[in-house]
Amino acid sequence: MYTRRMSTSERLVEATRELLWERGYVGTSPRAIQQAAGAGQGSMYHHFAGKPDLALAAIRRTAEEMRGAAEAVLGGGGSAYERLEAYLLRERPVLRGCPLGRLTMDPDVLADERLRAPVDETLDWLRGRIADVVREGLATGELAGPLEPAELAATVVATVQGGYVLARAAGSPAAFDAAARGLLSLLAPRAT
């Protein structure tokens, strides 16, 4: 899973990212991290003070990756609607759920301000970035009002997160796709 060129600390962070996504914080033990990373206990504690510090590094890395993927489509070419469409319909591992959204269900993450911060910051950034795209669409007349950019951005994020839940419950990405396409049908520019 991990290349020999990766440093021990990199393998630990990547293993933790995967385990957090798969099992959540509560279900991710230091032993499981060490096994997945091919690292010993001494190596883990040499690089990180403990599970919370390692989890924080992993959550931050996941947050950075998610921001990059979102910005690639939201900041890309095309109209505001096309960029929103690209965000909603981009390739995702839908049945695995959202690696950050999943952490909002973990009581230990919610109780730890340091662990929760990158999740909150990323979701806030995402809502703000989507609101910016909506403002562009309103300014050009491409999106028709009355739309409140911050509210629509919250709706887009809620549709994505809820779509993950629906898809996982149904065991099919079709539920995610239906939610995304339903929202897009409400936003589609109308012919005049």
pLDDT tens-digit readout, 32-45: 999 999 988 888 88
* Phi, psi for 94 (deg, rounded to 5): -55, -40
Does 68 map to a domain? yes
Is 192 among the domain residues? no
Please report which confidence band the pLDDT of residue 145 belongs to, taking 50, 70 and 90 as the band edges: confident
Total count of domains within the chain: 1
Rounded to whole angstroms, the Cα distance separating 8 from 14 reads 10
pLDDT bracket for residue 23 (50, 70, 90):
very high
Residue 167 to residues 3, 21, 159: CA-CA distances in angstroms? 32, 16, 12
Buried-state track 43-72, b at ≥16 Cβ within 10 A, e below 16: bbeebbeebeebbbbbbbbbbeebbeebee
Which CATH number do you get for residue 70? 1.10.357.10
pLDDT at residue 2 is higher than 70: no
Q: Indicate whether 142 belongs to any domain.
A: yes
Please tell me whether the overall predicted TM-score, pTM, comes out greater than 0.85 for this model: yes
Please determine, for residue 92, whether its predicted confidence score (pLDDT) is greater than 70: yes
Asked whether residue 49 is assigned to any structural domain, the reply reads: no
pLDDT tens figures, 97-142: 999 999 999 999 999 999 999 999 999 999 999 999 999 999 999 9
- Specify if 148 maps to a domain: yes
**Domain contains 62:** yes
Q: Is residue 84 part of a domain?
A: yes
Residue 4 maps to a domain: no
What range does the domain containing 170 cover? 57-187
Q: Is the pLDDT of residue 96 over 60?
A: yes
Tell me how far the alpha carbon of residue 48 is from its chain's centroid: 24
